[in-house]
Structure 1
Amino acid sequence: MFRVAVICLALSFSLLHAETDVEENDIDIEDESELRSKFEKFKVQYKKKYDQAEEEKRFQIFVENLKASKRMQEQDIGTAIYGITKFSDMSDEEFGAFYLNPVISNNNDPRPEEMLSADVAEQLTNVSLPSFVDWRKLGAVTRVKDQGLRCGSCWAFGSVANIESMWYIKTKKLRALSEQEILDCDFRSTGCHGGHPDNAFRAVIQLGGIMSEREYPYRGRNGHCAFKQSKAIAKIQTYRNIRPDEEEMKIWVAHSGPIVISMNATGLQGYRRGIIRPGAYACDNFRLNHVMLVVGYGTSRGYPYWIIKNSWGADWGEKGYFRIYRGEGACGINKLPITVVI
């Protein structure tokens, strides 16, 4: 099976709402005093404190990130707004090391045919789909969570979010489930060092279920497996790989529920809001480094988009979510879609 190991790390910061975010689109990057002023506002808003030597280093990185955000803004052909975020004092290398891990898989074997959703593909020419779907509005999505503390656990968060939503759709019971169980008990993956959604699903099947987040709380580090089957509150039957086709993905989201995707999330460092539509060559769609959950789709101002739940806290992006252009395989979003079957 073609697989890409994914590591995407997140740190916890206390932030204000998007309405009070530092504005940066009109910043003159040649004006040192203005840059210093924006940096001071950034530190207050995001509660940043440095020693004297670190302060100057972080200011220089802040300036470089403003320049990068301006380039992203110029290249993006959607409605996305880029600029100052809680990651603006992190270098590209730090962001990549702490949040992302662009790994090219050494295993390019095709997915097994028995896992392909050929039955769904046959419906493509006849199916009628709604123009807008948002499973949040139907009560099928838990709150946005935060990986925190430099643990590469996006694969666990995306997988658990999928189970939570599909369990609700099946039972009408929305339960916050345990990412830590996946980190500790999926022995095919490497916990905070990365993993695969299919392995997470296999672990839950083999364990006999998944415990609640409350009973098996997230610690953001690898630990010993403490799963207790008597306390499992959700189970899955199997999982299905979905064809790398956005029309089929749309069918699954519309008729079945949220699905897991992997994508190149490098450009999300400076994302604030809007619909991402990378310009040509701006986002390598083979460099998959982050796992998340598609919770819906729609169209705005002529731009078709996916709605994606991230795991960097509700203080990032559009209250923890973002939108990305639908129909062009943007940033590799169509490469590895997958979902559980309850």
Structure 2
Amino acid sequence: MFRVAVICLALSFSLLHAETDVEENDIDIEDESELRSKFEKFKVQYKKKYDQAEEEKRFQIFVENLKASKRMQEQDIGTAIYGITKFSDMSDEEFGAFYLNPVISNNNDPRPEEMLSADVAEQLTNVSLPSFVDWRKLGAVTRVKDQGLRCGSCWAFGSVANIESMWYIKTKKLRALSEQGGIMSEREYPYRGRNGHCAFKQSKAIAKIQTYRNIRPDEEEMKIWVAHSGPIVISMNATGLQGYRRGIIRPGAYACDNFRLNHVMLVVGYGTSRGYPYWIIKNSWGADWGEKGYFRIYRGEGACGINKLPITVVI
């Protein structure tokens, strides 16, 4: 009886989850009363407050973002669910300026051959890899952080997250490090998210790196690094993440420009679900976004340019 009860409970949860997905993606864009109702719930959930003039502006942006999420849902061929997120009242321009970093695209140049990891490439034909890796389960990943508004500091969060994980793998000590300057602890030098005088103190540095290593723009080699060495840093086109809620992103052929790299994050693992191979990626937009601050994206097609600039520190 216990087993039957458990199975029934699991089926009920699955059905409830499916119904929720349908509700999120079945908003009538032409029904203003429904849209107003969704907007009111959005404001309550994310504690949004506007003056009278701003209210209508944000509502119109909210509607446009729902339309964009609907298009993303129609184009995506993975399991991703798009809809209302904490960014739903931000225009494309605001979201790009506040949370992305277009400078990354300007640095997307081919790497010189001598910087490629040829020794790892030689192992591709005879290496055995696990089917699933998640460095979070091994205690090597710190909590999800939030880079904050109006600060394109994703590069600092991705780099520091990489150092945190690799430092743990080397020393078995997981320490939250500072993105603000140097490699002090987060407690000693908390992140402020704004320009100012650097207060780094060499005497309080608690982590150091030897060098860094470029990884070939090949997802099989990336998989080897993640499996055998630890989390790696990637850059990708994150424009479509504004409306992402959960699931495995697999954008259509023309839905995500592979060369428009504008966000840096950390790959903490990989796996396969329902026939979809995926990467597990730690973001820096807080734990109230995506899958508790993470998202999954299809592995093996260079989705959104995820394979263009993989890199890792060496401790």
SS of equivalent to 2:106 = coil
Give the C-alpha shift of residue 210 in structure 1: 1.6
The question of whether the paired residues in 1 share the 8 Å contact of 2:99 and 2:149 is answered with: no
Q: 1:209 to 1:90 in 2, by over 3 A?
A: closer
Aligned length: 315
1:275–1:323 contact (8 Å) kept in structure 2: yes
Q: Is the 8 A contact 1:7 1:101 kept in 2?
A: no
Deviation at 1:102, TM superposition (A): 3.0
1:225 is aligned to 198
2:259 corresponding residue in structure 1: 286
User: Distance in 2 between the 1:2 and 1:215 partners?
Assistant: 51
1:106 to 1:162, Cα distance in 2 relative to 1, 3 A = closer
Change in CA separation of 1:77 and 1:12 when aligned onto 2, cut-off 3 Å: closer
Question: Structure 1 runs of 4+ off > 6 angstroms?
Answer: 1-22
- What residue number does 2:50 align with? 50
Q: Structure 1, residues 18-68: CA drift from partner, whole Å, max 9, x if none?
A: 999995312111111111111111111111111111111111111111111
Whether contact under 8 Å (1:241, 1:339) holds in the other structure is yes
Partner of 2:187: 214
Cα separation, partners in 2 of 1:5 and 1:287, compared to 1, 3 Å: farther
Q: Which residue of 2 aligns with 1:260?
A: 233
How many Å separate the matches in 2 of 1:99 and 1:13?
Answer: 34
Contact 1:176 1:212 in 2 (8 A): yes
Pick the structure with greater CA Rg. Answer: 2
Closer/same/farther in 2, CA of residues 293 and 333 from structure 1, 3 Å limit: same
> Structure 1 pair 260/13, CA: closer, same or farther in 2 (3 Å)?
farther
Q: Contact 1:80–1:271 (CA<8 Å) still a contact in 2? A: yes
What does residue 173 of structure 1 align with? 173
Contact 2:258 2:302 in 1 (8 A): yes
Change (3 A) 1:230 1:17: farther
Paired residues of 1:69 and 1:82 also in contact (CA < 8 A): yes
Question: Is 322-331 or 59-68 further displaced after alignment?
Answer: 59-68
User: Which runs of no fewer than 5 residues in structure 2 stay unpaired?
Assistant: none
Higher helix residue share: 2
| 1:95 partner SS | helix
CA distance change for structure 1 residues 138 and 270 in 2, over 3 Å: closer, same or farther? Answer: same
Contact kept in structure 2, 1:178 and 1:213, CA below 8 Å: yes
1:325 aligns with 2:298: yes
Name the CA shift for 1:5/1:169 in 2 (closer, same or farther; >3 Å): farther
Which string of whole-angstrom CA distances, capped at 9 and with x for unpartnered residues, describes residues 77-132 of structure 1? 00000000000011111111212243475566542334311000000000000000
8 Å Cα contact 1:13-1:86 kept in structure 2: no
Runs of at least 5 residues in structure 1 that lack an aligned partner in the other structure:
181-207
- How far residue 149 of structure 1 moved from its aligned partner, in angstroms, is 3.1
Given that 1:134 and 1:297 are in contact with CA atoms closer than 8 Å, whether structure 2 keeps it comes out as yes
SS across alignment from 2:200: coil
Identity over the aligned pairs, expressed in percent?
100
- Deviation string, structure 1 residues 257-300 (Cα, Å, up to 9, x no partner): 00000000000000000000000110000000000000000000
Provide the rounded CA distance (Å) in 1 between the counterparts of 2:239 and 2:131. Answer: 29
TM-score by length of 1: 0.84
TM value normalised by structure 2: 0.91
Cα shift at 1:222: 1.7
Instruction: Work out the CA distance in 1 between the residues paired with 2:155 and 2:7.
Output: 7
